[in-house]
Amino acid sequence: MTSALSNPGRAAALPAPRATDPGAFGRVAVVMGGQSSEREVSLDSGRNVLAALRARGIDAHAVDGIPALLDALRAGHYARVFNILHGQHGGGEDGVLQGALESLHVPYTGSGVLGSALSMDKIRSKQVWIAERLPTPRFVPLRRGAGRAGVAAAADELGLPVIVKPASEGSSVGISRVFRAEDLAAAAELAARYPGDLLVEELIEGDELTVAVLGGVALPSIRIVPKGAFYDYHAKYVAEDTQYLCPGLEGEAEAAIGALALAAFQALGCSGWGRVDVMRDRQGRNFLLEVNTAPGMTSHSLVPKAAATLGIGFEELCWRVLETSFAPAAGEGAP
């Protein structure tokens, strides 16, 4: 069986925009906020996207949450949706919103039902990657309610240090890095505060990198250097001392991580745009962590930083993301 990474090359730049007239998009709903644990991040992202689209002449309007959006769509108020909701259970990133929009025949940005659902579930993501022979840290899945004993047994199987995290949350919500056995109970308690299953994962010590994907192209990687121990919620959205090095790698290593990101993205059935998070260990081996199908678009967010290295400003980036709501071009996966 040929590896999905047999061709590590990738495009150096994005193709030309598919639309030049803002009227081609019609009236656009920018759906943000929602009911997930990432509501505030989504609102921040949504405000930025809304301003950028309007600055480019697009007839864009803010809508808070899925119920309000579906009511407006059934009333015929919008032609398409820019989805900048984050998370699950009302967060709009888990396939539920995508299914509703499909049933209403309303085009939308980003991945479809399958890609969104698989990406939101870190356990299923890893199972798909393992089946495709793509590298991801060793892990033990745990059903909700496994408790301290289950987490301790998983850590014993993997060996410390480990990561304990909810299986279906983003923005580093509910995550703990555990180096000592006496800290496992607190990590289990934190992860259990969030709905769904848990997983205990081998902690890969090395560099944190991320690769944005837009229109079938892997953008330059970003190496993240947080001031603290790791890239947690504070480092992502609050701290001003996190360093972002782009591109994060050079030469063949940069080409390889781009190819890996595309392979991971496509294996989960994702399309349009997204972001693939990767750990690179001290031996230079890459390990897939997760795919984000509606990445943040805040002042601290990573996709805009990667696009900027290609000379694509924030307004242009938002335009291009909105173009992912069009029917896929030749060579792109269908949503």
- Other Cβ atoms less than 10 A from the Cβ of 226: the count is 17
Active-site residue flag, 125: no
- For 308-331, write each residue's pLDDT tens digit: 999 999 999 999 999 999 987 554
Residue 91, pLDDT above cutoff 80: no
Query: 77 or 148: which carries more pLDDT confidence?
Result: 77
Alpha carbon distance, N-terminus to C-terminus of the chain: 27
Instruction: Spot the catalytic one: 121, 174, 296, 323.
Output: 296
Instruction: Spot the catalytic one: 44, 121, 208, 290.
Output: 290
pLDDT value at residue 98: 97
- For 199-228, write each residue's pLDDT tens digit: 999 999 999 999 999 999 999 999 999 875
Active-site residue flag, 290: yes
Structure tokens, 296: 């943040």
Strands (E), 193-236: 198-202, 206-214, 217-218, 222-225
* Structural domains of the chain, ranges and CATH numbers in brackets: 22-109 (3.40.50.20), 138-202 (3.30.1490.20), 205-323 (3.30.470.20)
Active-site residue flag, 231: no
What count of Cα atoms within 13 Å lies in the side-chain half-sphere of residue 211? Answer: 31
Q: What is the DSSP string of 33-85?
A: --SSTTHHHHHHHHHHHHHHHHHTT--EEEEESHHHHHHHHHTT--SEEEE--
Q: What is the mean pLDDT of residues 160-166?
A: 94
Q: Is 241 exposed, middle or buried (0-12, 13-18, 19+ CB in 10 A)?
A: exposed
pLDDT band at 229 (very low <50, low <70, confident <90, very high): low
Residue 332, pLDDT above cutoff 70: no
Instruction: Spot the catalytic one: 10, 36, 37, 38.
Output: 38
Active-site residue flag, 78: no
Residue 335, pLDDT above cutoff 50: no
Active-site residue flag, 237: yes
Active-site residue flag, 275: yes
Instruction: Spot the catalytic one: 36, 171, 271, 301.
Output: 171
What distance in Å separates the CA atoms of residue 77 and residue 117, rounded to the nearest whole number?
27
What distance in Å separates the CA atoms of residue 91 and residue 211, rounded to the nearest whole number?
22
**Chain mean pLDDT for the chain:** 89
Q: Can you give the pTM of this predicted structure?
A: 0.88
Instruction: Spot the catalytic one: 277, 280, 286, 325.
Output: 277
